[in-house]
């Protein structure tokens, strides 16, 4: 028996808010000009939201109205000073990433992971926390005692690498602090209903263990795009790549390579029933279209990489195969980029 923990942040967590703003701005640019090149960063806190980064696009969008729309959809007010500091992409980078060349938008390595543990091909504990995050967002929409900010951490008891019980489920949720006995019970009931789907039980709940959580969002903490890369990927069940996803257009392999690695890992499990899990690493050099390296391992050991996979993993081909020009990236930033 061993203990292993993983965590998630709720949609209203300051870092996640910044991710959603970055991706909402990205979506707006791509909707008007699919050739837009974007690297959008957001920092928020203490009455200000600062939006910076690089964009090259034929379209013009209203960054401030988009930011306010995201805040409203999450459940926050819009009374912030919003500063638009977006600049233009470097011409040096554009030399290797334009549509003619089609090279990778950056150096880096990305990971994809899949396991047979759930129908989503994701670890059971990870799926439980994702479902809890989604359920909490629905809860705060219908019950004003619950506010948007929050996070949860699950410490599981594992036997032979299988989750057999939850030792501790820690849930921190922002609320009005008006009726904690009942609101805590509601949170526990929601979590228990999700956990019962997987025939598990919880030994101990820790609910707002500091005792109080009324001040949250940008009033309680600063937020920054890309600061939750472990939550965005596999919550520590697999290695994490070097870059975040949000705010980056599909030519950026930090995002697209990670999406492709995930699909590749899933495909391998679907085709090879003898493997219980699969991990894929892709690595790129800026301006070069094909990966400089691909590595695949499973619970049965490393496997040979087919030459065809290098052709499939160019930015142009990945964008086409994964239909990335028609994805709503803001939605992916809300609860996890790999929900299925």
Please list the active-site residues: 13, 15-16, 41, 54, 151, 213, 221-222, 227-228, 248, 252, 254
Give the span between the Cα atoms of 10 and 16, in whole angstroms: 7
Residue 20 CB-density burial (10 A; 0-12 exposed, 13-18 middle, 19+ buried): buried
Q: Which is it for strands 202-207 and 162-175: parallel, antiparallel or unpaired?
A: parallel
**At CB < 8 A and 24+ separation, what contacts does 320-324 make?**
321/260, 322/256, 322/259, 322/260, 322/263, 324/250, 324/256, 324/259
Question: Treating both helix axes as pointing N-terminal to C-terminal, what angle do 124-142 and 180-196 enclose, rounded to 10 degrees?
Answer: 140
Tell me how many helices (H) and strands (E) the chain has: 11, 12
Residue 13 DSSP class: S
Q: Which is it for strands 48-56 and 223-224: parallel, antiparallel or unpaired?
A: unpaired
Give the span between the Cα atoms of 189 and 174, in whole angstroms: 17
Question: Are 279 and 258 a contacting pair, CB within 8 Å?
Answer: no
Q: For residue 300, give the 3-state DSSP assignment.
A: coil
Give the span between the Cα atoms of 248 and 306, in whole angstroms: 28
């Amino acid at each position: 028996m061993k203990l292993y923990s993983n965590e998630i942040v709720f949609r209203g967590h300051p870092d996640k808010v910044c991710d959603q703003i970055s991706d909402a701005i990205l979506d707006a640019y791509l909707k008007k000009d699919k050739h837009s090149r974007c690297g959008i960063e957001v920092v928020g806190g203490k009455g200000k939201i600062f939006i910076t980064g690089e964009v090259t696009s034929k379209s013009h969008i209203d960054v401030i109205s988009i930011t306010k729309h995201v805040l409203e959809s999450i459940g926050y007010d819009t009374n912030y000073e919003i500063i638009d500091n977006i600049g233009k992409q470097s011409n040096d980078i554009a030399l290797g990433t334009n549509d003619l060349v089609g090279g990778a938008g950056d150096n880096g390595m990305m990971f994809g992971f899949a396991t047979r543990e759930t129908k989503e091909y994701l670890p059971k504990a990870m799926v439980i926390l994702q479902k809890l995050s989604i359920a909490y967002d629905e809860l705060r929409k219908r019950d004003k005692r619950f506010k948007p900010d929050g996070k949860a951490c699950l410490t599981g008891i594992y036997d032979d690498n299988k989750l057999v019980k939850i030792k501790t489920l820690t849930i921190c949720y922002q609320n009005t602090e008006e009726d904690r006995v009942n609101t805590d019970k509601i949170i526990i009931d929601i979590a228990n209903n999700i956990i019962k789907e997987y025939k598990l039980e919880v030994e101990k709940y820790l609910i707002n263990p500091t005792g109080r959580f009324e001040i949250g969002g940008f009033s309680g903490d600063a937020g920054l795009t890309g600061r939750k890369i472990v939550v965005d990927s596999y919550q520590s069940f697999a290695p994490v790549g070097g870059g975040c996803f949000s705010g980056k257009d599909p030519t950026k392999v930090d995002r697209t390579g990670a999406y492709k690695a995930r699909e590749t890992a899933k495909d391998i499990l679907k085709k090879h029933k003898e493997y219980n899990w699969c991990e894929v690493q892709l690595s790129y050099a800026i301006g070069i279209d094909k990966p400089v390296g691909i590595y695949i391992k499973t619970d049965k050991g490393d496997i040979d990489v087919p030459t065809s996979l290098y052709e499939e993993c160019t930015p142009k081909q990945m964008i086409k195969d994964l239909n990335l020009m028609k994805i709503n990236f803001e939605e992916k930033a809300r609860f996890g980029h790999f929900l299925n």
